[in-house]
Amino acid sequence: MTVPAPPPAAPPPQLVRSPLSDGEWHRLHPLTPLLRGGLFLLVVIGIVFSNLRDRLLYVFLPWLAPGVGDEVVEWEEMGGDPVDFVIANNLYVVAALTVLAVLIILVAIFYTSWRFHTFRITEDDVEVRSGILFRTQRRAPLDRVQGVNLTRPMIARLLGMAKLEVVGAGMSANVKLEYLSTANAEAVRADILRLASGRRLADPAAPGGAQRPASRTAALGLTVSRELTGIIEGSEAPVGEPESVVHIPLGRLVASHILSMSTVGLFFAIVAIVIGVTQGVTWMLFGFVPAIIGFGAYWVRSIFKSLRYSIAPTPDGVRITYGLTTTITEILPPGRVHAVEITQPIMWRPAGWWTIRINRLTGRSASDGSNDDFTTVLPVGAVADVERVLRLVQPAMTDDERALVVQQGMFGPTAADAFTNTPRRAWWIRPLSYRRNGFLLTEDELLMRRGVVWRKIVILPLARLQSFGLYQGPLDRLSGVTNGRAHVVQGPVTPFLAAIDRDVALRLFDDVARASVRAAQSDRTHRWAQDEMDAGIPVPPVAPPAAPPAAPVAPVAPPVAQPAAPAIPPAAPAAPPAEPTEHRA
């Protein structure tokens, strides 16, 4: 139970590692204005320079641009150009001063906006304040966090900085902290996830804010000493990068891109253009070149993006990394996956490759181009990879269910098919795939299997299902079948199933309604670690390979730090039986 008092409680110091997440307001990294505004300024200067290149050459290095002089004279005759005015009236000093003044004002603005841009992390929220004239304050409750991602664009990366984005649910609902130093960003992310997980402290007598440090240095000191004594809790995220469960060889990555429909499209385009050109329609060549360039760029970009792909379990969710130059790391807490689709395009079938995409709440605005970053959780992989990724994104599935998904869902129908398929009489609705087109309702998931050419299997966790609909048109009615559609949050997966037997579908309608209500009520993933603490299970569901036991002695702890150790009890799972779900609604 949180106290609804106006000053929000600082997070319990035992739960946070970073001095930045102590419940106080903090500024972002001092180099932020350089990265956010400085680059913009550079671009503006670049544009100005490239437009005035000839002119500047003529003014400063006239012997290098002999031909430009005539043009300048022409321009001068036309009049009205400020550069001409400056040149004509010898106002170089004034012009330089003006430029300098503008620069100073811009720098001042960037500096002030940096001063005013602050954030804090309290026990229940992440808050960001920004703006000079128009102040905005955004507060995101931690139990609604859909994920935390850490982006390191090329330039920021060189400076050792990273952008942290707390993903919320809703249009443009993300809270961005840009930029922090990489180490801080990592620590803050870990803190946010730890706080969001609802993990309770072993000792109820250590309330947050009881020993609030007076200053930042004190906080830092506290954190450092805490780190040194290093006895917090067992389920600490492994230091360093967790091992990825899937490795995509470069060859497979490139081949998977070559074996795609866009390559087929490109092939046909080339054929069309060759025919066109040989028939004398030479202008087709001109449309072709930009198309090739565009395709090549897309191709290279998507391969580059997948080059450093890795997916690994952490105590606080699945960690997915992408990107070669700009790395994006996202931790997806449990229960944030709304739909999973395993697909195999026809051209990948000989190689036995599959891809996995998910629906999730991104919290980005629709205009944001990087929308689909984390919807592909497996760009290309063999069956074993699919199984491993599935284990991460759907940890609640049992091994039997996973085997079922692989054997029957991906490759089915087999003998003794568990799925309920399209009845024979409705074969004409799905002439190719009617034997495969079906569904299966298990305890916690609804599986939809379809497609023969593009094999697809959709896994819908019932706890995330928003609603379920039946749709029947006149032709369906003629065959006594109906279509089913599960409504989930927006994403690349559209869970639609055509032509299910009408009686079966009506039964499914009721079953899904009942099962999804039950699943949603028993779902506790918005505070994913709380139940385990309450139940006294110290190990998180996604068992990390290297979760250290709750040892009272930290490996780095020098002997002098030992006497301080008993002050904070080790992370015994003897959690108080706190009310499991007392949250703000």
Partner 1 sequence: MTNSPEMIPDSNPASRATDDQASFERLVEPKSENRLVLEGGVWHQISPKYVTVQLISHGSFLAIVVAATLVLALVLHLQWVWIVGGVLAVIQIWTLAILPRQARAIGYRLREDDLVFRRGILWQRFVAVPYGRMQLIDITHGPLDRGFGIAQLKFVTAAAATGVVIPGLAQSTAETLRDHLIEVAESRRTGL
Q: Which spans of this chain sit near partner 1 (rule: CB under 8 A)?
A: 144, 146, 169, 335, 361, 463-464, 466-474, 477-482, 485, 487-490, 502, 505-506, 509-510, 512-514, 516-517, 520-521, 523, 525-526, 585
Find the shortest distance in angstroms from Cβ 487 to partner 1. 4
Please provide the distance, in angstroms rounded to a whole number, between the alpha carbons at the two ends of the chain.
12
**DSSP letter string over 523-552?**
--GGGTTHHHHHHT--S-SS--TTPPP--S
Quick one: 9 or 470, whose CB is closer to partner 1?
A: 470
Sheet holding 327-332, edge to edge: 175-181, 161-167, 147-152, 327-332, 317-322, 310-314
Quick one: 36 or 464, whose CB is closer to partner 1?
A: 464
In whole angstroms, give the CA distance from residue 335 to residue 99. 54
- Size (the chain), residues: 585
Q: Are 192 and 16 in contact (CB under 8 A)?
A: no
Find the shortest distance in angstroms from Cβ 332 to partner 1. 14
Q: Is 316 exposed, middle or buried (0-12, 13-18, 19+ CB in 10 A)?
A: buried
Q: Where is 160: in which H helix or E strand?
A: none
Quick one: 438 or 484, whose CB is closer to partner 1?
A: 484
Q: Are 18 and 187 in contact (CB under 8 A)?
A: yes
Find the shortest distance in angstroms from Cβ 335 to partner 1. 7
Find the shortest distance in angstroms from Cβ 359 to partner 1. 9
Kindly state the DSSP code that residue 167 receives in the 8-state scheme.
E
Find the shortest distance in angstroms from Cβ 338 to partner 1. 8
Find the shortest distance in angstroms from Cβ 199 to partner 1. 17
Find the shortest distance in angstroms from Cβ 107 to partner 1. 43
Quick one: 306 or 482, whose CB is closer to partner 1?
A: 482
Quick one: 285 or 517, whose CB is closer to partner 1?
A: 517
Using only C-alpha atoms, the chain has a radius of gyration, in whole angstroms, of: 30
Question: Which residues on neighbouring strands pair with residue 393, listed in sequence order?
Answer: none
Look up residue 14 and give its two tokens: 């035992």
CA distances from residue 400 to 219, 381, 406, 407, 458 in whole angstroms, order as listed: 49, 21, 10, 10, 17
Quick one: 235 or 482, whose CB is closer to partner 1?
A: 482
CA distances from residue 377 to 341, 358, 415, 583 in whole angstroms, order as listed: 10, 7, 30, 31
Find the shortest distance in angstroms from Cβ 371 to partner 1. 15
Find the shortest distance in angstroms from Cβ 409 to partner 1. 23
Quick one: 243 or 443, whose CB is closer to partner 1?
A: 443
In whole angstroms, give the CA distance from residue 312 to residue 305. 17
Quick one: 146 or 181, whose CB is closer to partner 1?
A: 146
Look up residue 434 and give its two tokens: 């009617």
Kindly state the DSSP code that residue 406 receives in the 8-state scheme.
I
Quick one: 456 or 502, whose CB is closer to partner 1?
A: 502
